[in-house]
Amino acid sequence: MDATVLVLLRHGETAHTAQRRFSGSGGADPALSEVGLAQAARAARAPVLDTVQAVVSSPLARCRQTAQAAADRLGLPVAVADGLRETAFGAWEGLTFAEARSRHQAEMDAWFASPSAAPPGGESFDDVTARVARIRDDLLAAHRGRTILLVSHVTPVKTLLRLALGAPHEAVFRMDLDPASLSAVAYYADGNASVRFLNSTAHLA
């Protein structure tokens, strides 16, 4: 049987993205900016999407908008999976990194030091990894041998890549993932996975 391929598309830019604010699933649900809408349109035309047979999105607006652009081009519906939503950042929602550190330095230090630590009122990396792994397994079981477009966020996409590589938790801090970038992982019947590419932005040029 052919590999099952997950093409991973980070959503386009929002106002929070441009301002480098924490934007998770527990606060505001910003839509794409004008720049983000243009990025989504360009991503929809990326040649790697030509073989996509299903489109699955995070429930958050920025992802659904990005996914819809691709789905319209491909003539496919958009399925929504809660497991693909971004981390809930709790008290840090809407804050810049500097603002969060100034108000919650001890909690942020703990968050960087351990995947089991969470922002106040938010999710830990362990929490996110567990739900991302569940939705990955569900999708692989439902779409064996197919190519699926997943439209999600920084943490879930990096988590899928990290798990495919068998890399430690710290790898999430070692990857760049630009707005509307594409990555892909192939999963094989013997249980092996292979990262085909990461953070491709050629389609945005």
In the residue annotation, 86 being an active-site residue is answered as yes
Other Cβ atoms closer than 10 A to 130 = 13
Known active-site residue 153 = no
Catalytic residue among 13, 86, 107, 123: 86
Q: Which residues of 152-183 are buried (b: 16+ CB within 10 A; e: fewer)?
A: bbbbbbbbbbbbbeeeeeeebeebebebbbbb
Which residues, in sequence order, are bridge partners of residue 151?
9, 57
Q: How is residue 70 written in tokens?
A: 């691709």
3-state secondary structure of 65: helix
Catalytic residue among 11, 16, 104, 153: 11
Q: Is 62 annotated as a binding-site member? A: yes
Give CA–CA dist 168/51, Å, rounded.
31
Q: How far apart are CA 21 and CA 4, in angstroms?
A: 34
Residues with a catalytic annotation lie at: 11, 86
In the annotated binding site, the residues are 62
In the annotated binding site for substrate, the residues are 62
